[in-house]
Structure 1
Amino acid sequence: MGTETNYLCLSPPRNVPVITGSKDLQNNVNITLRVIFQPVASQLPHIFTSIGEDYDEPVLTYIMTKILKLVVARFDAGEVITQRELVSRQVSNDLTEQAATFGLILDDVFLTYLTFGKEFTEAVEAKQVAQQEAERARFVKEKAEQQKKAAVISAEGNSKATELIANSLATSGDGLIELCKLEATEDIA
């Protein structure tokens, strides 16, 4: 292509929706790609004679669809979501290279829309619900274990208190009076 600087003005954005598949066989990945492009002015005569004056529609639709399908197929559905920037960058790089062979310069390439098929969306939602239920079950189990520990500690304390009271009553003639004082103090506290 060289270092030509003889460009025309930018075109209006072109949006191309594509339904493609991911590496993990999610076949309903819906993506819309937006590009802003311009032809290299010095290549316009060649573009017009080889493709025609309405060169942008067939060329851009073809290469955008082809590149999107190739790039998305390298990722599984989860990666397409979590690594969207990487996917977008690879699409942009590959598309820019491909467009240059047709005498087009891409000034902006952006993934504007990304969704998945109903089955995949439902599976993701079901997984999230299952994770929330597992977390809830873990919380309930931990709460029950804490209540069990509290009951054991309380029982041990009551046992020790009973033992101390019995020892006090056996060693002191005034044990009953002391027991009443302890109970009154406990009620006050």
Structure 2
Amino acid sequence: MAGIPQSIFRWAVPGALAISFAQASMYDVKGGTRAVIFDRVSGVKEQVVNEGTHFLVPWLQKAIVYDVRTRPRNISTTTGSKDLQMVTLTLRVLHRPEVQQLPKIYQQNLGLDYDERVLPSIGNEVLKAIVAQFDAAELITQREAVSNRIRNDLLKRAGEFNIALEDVSITHMTFGKEFTRAVEEKQIAQQEAERARFIVEKAEQERQANVIRAEGEAEAADTISKAVAKSGDGLIMIRRIETQKDIAQLLARNPNISYLPNGGAGGEGKSGGSFLLGLRS
């Protein structure tokens, strides 16, 4: 029994060292990441390690794990346009490292936060260079062209640092107070000019309508005059009969009105079609 603790102690130390060495020799590369191996003797290895569990030589080698998933980043800058108007631009950039170029990214001493070291710098550089080529008004009217220019130039600059850009878009664009006030005043003036033009067009249309109406009435009056001159009193009598007929139909529909034939005591023996009208009690 006395020899058992000594044997356990004799094997425990080497076993613990072996376990520690085995743990130090293993490393995991999780999903969405890649690893670069730095060797103290040969330097950075060119091979990129994929996902999974891998082995290395402790102390002699070290694994540097990079996140290779696409991530967003906002880049903002305030600069002057071609006509010296101050413009504030914000870009939204979706970026990731070039997986096969991870050893070069590590050799350039950019570190794991390569995007924080590179993107703000080249983003401000490209934005200032592009905005300076356009007037403030052109930045508004030609926003798509400006965005394309920024995207193309930023892709080239990011490629020099082995960074891939999935998307580049302008999310915000604001101008100085003076330019904004000038734009608002211009819009108000344009709206007032449109309103005045509408009023003028409406008055002209009403004038033309009155002219056409007057011409129609004059033509109708001329036609009636010619018809009267041609037929004598016949047309007037026809119009009079039509008017009396309309009045009779209107009175016939009224229940409070009664019709009495013309005559009575003094009307006997007279022929005719006149009537006396009386209200019912």
- State yes or no: 1:110 paired with 2:169: yes
2:76 corresponds to which residue?
Answer: 17
- State yes or no: 1:34 paired with 2:95: no
Letter in 2 for 1:81: I
**Change in 2 beyond 3 A, CA 1:60/1:140:** same
Once the two structures are superposed, residues 27-81 of structure 1 have per-residue CA deviations (whole angstroms, 9 ceiling, x without a partner) of 2x22112222326312134321xx6665543432221101011112222333323
Q: Rg larger in 1 or in 2?
A: 2
Contact conserved, 1:37 with 1:108, CA < 8 A, in 2?
A: no
1:154 corresponds to which residue?
Answer: 213
**Change in 2 beyond 3 A, CA 1:171/1:89:** closer
Query: What secondary structure is seen at the aligned counterpart in 2 of 1:127?
Result: helix
Number of aligned residues: 181
1:144 corresponds to which residue?
Answer: 203
Structure scoring higher RCO (CA < 8 A, sep ≥ 6) equals 1
- State yes or no: 1:71 paired with 2:137: no
Query: What secondary structure is seen at the aligned counterpart in 2 of 1:61?
Result: helix
Contact conserved, 1:68 with 1:91, CA < 8 A, in 2?
A: yes
Query: What secondary structure is seen at the aligned counterpart in 1 of 2:140?
Result: helix
Moved more, 125-134 or 89-98: 125-134
Query: What secondary structure is seen at the aligned counterpart in 1 of 2:108?
Result: helix
Give the whole-Å Cα distance in 2 for the aligned partners of 1:24 and 1:183. Answer: 80
Letter in 1 for 2:92: R
Alignment of 1:117-132 (within 5 A): 117-132=176-191
What 5-or-longer segments of structure 2 have no aligned partner?
Answer: 1-45, 50-65, 248-281
Q: Identity, % of aligned pairs?
A: 51
Contact conserved, 2:105 with 2:161, CA < 8 A, in 1?
A: no
Letter in 2 for 1:91: I
How far 1:171 moved relative to its partner?
Answer: 5.4
Letter in 2 for 1:87: V
How far 1:110 moved relative to its partner?
Answer: 2.7
Once the two structures are superposed, residues 133-185 of structure 1 have per-residue CA deviations (whole angstroms, 9 ceiling, x without a partner) of 22222221121112112222222333334444445555554178359549949
Letter in 2 for 1:42: P
Contact conserved, 1:18 with 1:68, CA < 8 A, in 2?
A: yes
**Change in 2 beyond 3 A, CA 1:171/1:30:** same
Query: What secondary structure is seen at the aligned counterpart in 2 of 1:31?
Result: strand
**Which one has a larger percent strand, Structure 1 or Structure 2?**
2
Give the whole-Å Cα distance in 2 for the aligned partners of 1:107 and 1:113. Answer: 19
**Change in 2 beyond 3 A, CA 1:174/1:77:** same
Contact conserved, 2:105 with 2:111, CA < 8 A, in 1?
A: no
Query: What secondary structure is seen at the aligned counterpart in 2 of 1:30?
Result: strand
Contact conserved, 1:16 with 1:64, CA < 8 A, in 2?
A: yes
Letter in 1 for 2:119: L
**Change in 2 beyond 3 A, CA 1:12/1:167:** closer
**Which one has a larger percent helix, Structure 1 or Structure 2?**
1
Letter in 2 for 1:22: S
What 5-or-longer segments of structure 1 have no aligned partner?
Answer: none
Query: What secondary structure is seen at the aligned counterpart in 2 of 1:14?
Result: strand
For residue 80 of structure 1, the aligned residue among 126, 136, 139 is 139
Contact conserved, 1:88 with 1:110, CA < 8 A, in 2?
A: yes
